[in-house]
Amino acid sequence: MITIHNVTMPSLSVQVLVQVNAVVIDEDITIEITSDYAPAEITSGQSKVYRAIVKRGNEVLNEPVTWQLFADNMTGATSAATITQQDGENSTIKNNNNTKDHVQLKATLVSDNSVYAWLRIRMKGYL
């Protein structure tokens, strides 16, 4: 309850009932790119599967992503690696016999392309 008084005429006042409701603020949606193999590197001629985990806070969402592969500058095309298979959750990346470059893997949320994640992957030769 809020009481409002008139400054020039104190006998005039009004009471107002104010109801405050809690506002639920959604947490940001994030994407995490993971792999069963660490670190993020692929040996020449080999392939690895990467998975996108979409979350709102700690809650895992069933939201698909699209996959893209770029040069290390995050804008240009690359011949160092190729996406050989993909779906809304997984992407298989093959090292095209490259022994020294890096590529950038990007996962973008299908329902909101302003939500995305990058993973830098090293292309390496045999030990």
Where in the sequence is the domain holding 83, given as residue range(s)? 24-124
- Domain assignment present for 14: no
- Domain assignment present for 88: yes
pLDDT value for 26: 63
Residue 1 pLDDT more than 70?
yes
State the Cα–Cα distance between residues 40 and 34, nearest whole angstrom: 9
- Domain assignment present for 73: yes
- Domain assignment present for 9: no
- Domain assignment present for 16: no
Tell me the whole-structure pTM to 2 decimals.
0.77
- Domain assignment present for 19: no
- Domain assignment present for 104: yes
pLDDT value for 113: 94
Which neighbouring-strand residues pair with 43?
Answer: 124
CA angle 105, 120, 52 (to 5 degrees): 45
Confidence of residue 53 (pLDDT cuts 50, 70, 90): very high
- Domain assignment present for 83: yes
The 3 state secondary structure assigned to the chain is: CEEEECCCCCCCEEEECCCCCCCCCCCCEEEEEECCCCCCEEECCCEEEEEEEEEECCEEECCCEEEEEEECCCCCCCCCEEEEEECCCEEEEEECCCCCCEEEEEEEECCCCCCEEEEEEEEECCC
Confidence of residue 126 (pLDDT cuts 50, 70, 90): confident
Mean pLDDT calculated for residue range 98-109? 95
Name the token pair of 8. Answer: 């020039």
Each residue of 17-33: pLDDT tens digit? 888 877 666 679 999 99
Residue 71 pLDDT more than 80?
yes
Each residue of 72-88: pLDDT tens digit? 999 999 999 999 999 99
Provide the domain count of the chain. 1
pLDDT value for 23: 66
| CATH number assigned to the domain comprising residue 90 | 2.60.40.1080
Residue 90 pLDDT more than 90?
yes
Residue 123 pLDDT more than 80?
yes
